[in-house]
Structure 1
Amino acid sequence: MSLASSLQPEARVLTLAARTCLDPSAAEQLRTLLNQPLDWERLYRLMLRHGVVALAYRNLLQAAPDAVPEPWRIRLEAEARALAVHNLHQTQELLRLVDRLEAEGIPVIPFKGPALAALIYGDPAARVYVDIDLLVKRSDFWKARRVIESLGYRAHKQLGEAETEAYLDTQLGFEFVHESRDFVVELHWAFFYTIYDLPLDPEAIWARHRQVPFAGRTLRTMAPEDLLLYLAIHGNKHRWLKLTWVADVAELLRRCADLDGAAVLQQAHRLGVARVLAIGCTLAAELLGAPVPDVLQRGLRQRRAARRMAREVVTRWMFREDVDVRAFWPMFWYHFRERERWRHRLGYLGHHLKLALAPTEKDRAFCRLPKQLTFLYPVIRPVRVLVERLHLGEAS
């Protein structure tokens, strides 16, 4: 039984409409569903929550324009128009940033955001996004930061130079907010270090990157093979809670027919994320009709665990409105099982143990320890929690 066959009508409408290309079969299924009674309030909420309003609205009008009730057509049209205006401003800002950085001799690869929408959907207005993500080389960070700040941005974290250097060694990106509050930029120099033991190699991504036409100029972009792995890992990191992350994978597969599936498989096996890739490809193919290359299908066909996890995503999280997506143990168990190698699973356990023992802001505020004694914070934490509860008890 396919993943889509178990969906309620509103969710099924969403999976048929959230794609750039409606084949005759999908269009006919969509028309059939639209001519049946639907909970349009729920369908509207799903479109907003999953970030696919523009794609869905376009396809609903194409498949059966008379089947969309007038009040909902007006609301969807307003959402799509507002999204197009927002994305236009974001795209203009992206180009301003890239032009300035490149003019200063700082190579930059935009990924996600408006660049992703334009490059794999063919339309910057097709996807919802919040911030602008830029990949720069680690050695260029300070120079890039000065350029970004000269354009009206301020660092979200106010750290000294030594603290910033320590941050750069352990984190993946640094956030800047424009003085107008309209734009957020994240400068990245690496991927997934805190999630996977073997990250996508930034140097290899730089070596394989391409330049593509974009808005009357050329723009650097990740090679499709690297981008597919990045999108699969990113969507899986969030347990595919939004259909837009599945759509990213589906549209990349649809748009890049010449993608080197063998190279993707080789890289996925090397990184230990073949199961993650299989989950993403399964969701993209069965929910959104993505054309998964034969070499990927053959290489991933036997991954039964991936299919079970894809079904879990669909039935347990993606379209449920009553689930606590922040519940720790379901999230922990899912990410523990996605890892194919025990050393990666042990690394994941170690990552959470480190988080559990790391001092929090509350711990530091409760008791300021000198650097050489910070190892005592895990001992101090129970005392801090007890004191807090005693104070709460007195207050009540």
Structure 2
Amino acid sequence: MCLELVSILYDSNKLLPREASFYQNAIQAIEEDGTSSQFYFLLKQQGRLDQTPAFFQQFLKQQYEQSLFLNLFIKQQTEQLLKCFESQEIAVIPLKGVYFAEKYFGHTGARATSDIDLLIKQSDVNKAIQLINSLGFYVEEEQIPGHFHCSFSKPLPNSTIPLVVELHWSLVKEQTSRFSIEEIWQQATHIGQSNYIHEMSPNHTFYTICLHGWRHNMNSMKYFFDILQVIQHDHQELDLVEIFQLAQSHETFKRMHRTLSIVYLQFPFLEIMMKYPLKKRRTLWAYRPVKGFKMYLDFLDYQFLSYDKVKHSVIELGNWLWPSKYEMSNELDLHAQGASEGKMLLTLYKKRISGIFNRVSKSL
């Protein structure tokens, strides 16, 4: 239903539904996915917000205003950080966040964000960490072998939620690809008059946004919004053939093909804007499937069969069966510090098994 509403936003030939029940059902999914800002801004930009029920408009506006306030604060904090990186001569690329919202959605508040993600060069990691620490941020998540980022937090006055900065030196696990971050840096361009603040090329922006959506199995409308907005903004500059050639060299081809097949099958009108150069791959993916084993078959396809090499699938299977403490804490949604690894693993397996039984019982 919500993907239908997304489709209407990008297809001028489609009319907005009139039934109040449609919008009542949409509110829960929009709130869970954190996409109120995207819906509000795009509907208002198109002059179609008034064509929706008053309660739906009120819901979107209230959520949008809350996100806008936070985004403005995060933008101010991001600008301070980038000035420090510039002064310390540390090359940096802001990832997603408020700059992405402004460039691809057209407004600071058009895409909610909650933290600051920065891409740096691996040779600058220690220097960047020292800079972050000097600005009052403490370690939230340390560097983990096989991963490509670490995070830092800073308490905020009158808030129980700290400001989080994630430093990335790559974007894909080394063990399951031949991803080369150097190519992204080589084609990155300076932002404004800065010497050390960069932005990715259009091809690389699209490539990394798609890989980000794949990493979450496109389980939220926000990943569709990001991909659709980049296509809409950059379709005349994007070269899908070149992007897939890059993915082949990085051994991320299946990830890209799966992700974009899902997007193009959901939104066929994209062919008019930017033709898909491959035969689309059919998957069992569905937006929030709630019954039966279809969800688990899709999970297996995504989790273990999205890799270009068998050895990468085997490595990922091993990582899933015996995840790191960090990965377990993410899946269990708890803080790993001080927790027993053995107890966490047992809790994780209990959660997975109970989830399977719950799905089976719902399908009977």
Q: TM-score range by the shorter chain?
A: 0.7 to 0.9
In structure 1, what is the Cα distance between the partners aligned to 2:154 and 2:137?
Answer: 4
Q: 2:15: which partner in 1?
A: 30
| Residues 94 and 13 of structure 1: CA distance in aligned 2, closer, same or farther (over 3 Å) | same
In structure 1, what is the Cα distance between the partners aligned to 2:240 and 2:33?
Answer: 28
Verify the 8 A CA contact 1:11 1:43 in the aligned structure 2. no
Q: Does 1:142 align with 2:126?
A: yes
Seq. identity, %: 20
| Residues 258 and 37 of structure 1: CA distance in aligned 2, closer, same or farther (over 3 Å) | same
Q: Does 1:273 align with 2:241?
A: no
1:115-170 alpha-carbon deviations (Å, 9 max, x no partner): 2222322322111222111011112112111211222211114xxxxxx6xx3653
Q: 2:359: which partner in 1?
A: none
Q: 2:87: which partner in 1?
A: 103
In structure 2, what is the Cα distance between the partners aligned to 1:197 and 1:121?
Answer: 32
Q: CA deviation at 1:281?
A: 2.4
In structure 2, what is the Cα distance between the partners aligned to 1:359 and 1:108?
Answer: 26
Q: CA deviation at 1:331?
A: 2.7
Q: 1:200: which partner in 2?
A: 179
In angstroms, what is the RMSD of aligned CA positions?
A: 3.6
In structure 2, what is the Cα distance between the partners aligned to 1:77 and 1:357?
Answer: 40
1:214-234 alpha-carbon deviations (Å, 9 max, x no partner): 9x9994112222222211121
Q: Does 1:83 align with 2:67?
A: yes
* Aligned positions of 1:118-133 closer than 5 A: 118-133=102-117
Q: Does 1:220 align with 2:203?
A: no
Structure-2-length-normalised TM-score:
0.78
Verify the 8 A CA contact 2:50 2:57 in the aligned structure 1. no
In structure 1, what is the Cα distance between the partners aligned to 2:91 and 2:326?
Answer: 35
In structure 1, what is the Cα distance between the partners aligned to 2:128 and 2:314?
Answer: 36
1:34-57 alpha-carbon deviations (Å, 9 max, x no partner): x23534332111222233212312
In structure 2, what is the Cα distance between the partners aligned to 1:366 and 1:279?
Answer: 37
Q: Whose helix fraction is larger, Structure 1's or Structure 2's?
A: 1
In structure 2, what is the Cα distance between the partners aligned to 1:244 and 1:98?
Answer: 26
Q: 2:5: which partner in 1?
A: 13
In structure 2, what is the Cα distance between the partners aligned to 1:44 and 1:357?
Answer: 35
Deviates more, 1:95-104 or 1:336-345: 336-345
Verify the 8 A CA contact 1:173 1:186 in the aligned structure 2. yes
Bigger radius of gyration among the two: 1
Q: 1:373: which partner in 2?
A: none
1:69-128 alpha-carbon deviations (Å, 9 max, x no partner): 223322221111111111111111111111111111111111121222223223221112
Q: CA deviation at 1:285?
A: 3.4
Q: Does 1:114 align with 2:98?
A: yes
Q: Does 1:188 align with 2:168?
A: yes
Structure 1, unmatched stretches of 5+, are 1-7, 158-163, 368-376, 386-396
Q: What SS does structure 2 have at the residue aligned with 1:297?
A: coil
Structure-1-length-normalised TM-score:
0.72
In structure 2, what is the Cα distance between the partners aligned to 1:356 and 1:106?
Answer: 30
Verify the 8 A CA contact 1:212 1:220 in the aligned structure 2. yes
In structure 1, what is the Cα distance between the partners aligned to 2:298 and 2:140?
Answer: 31
| Residues 331 and 274 of structure 1: CA distance in aligned 2, closer, same or farther (over 3 Å) | same
Q: CA deviation at 1:67?
A: 3.7
Amino acid at match of 1:245: Y
Q: 2:332: which partner in 1?
A: none
Equivalent residue in structure 2 for 1:170, among 135, 146, 151: 146
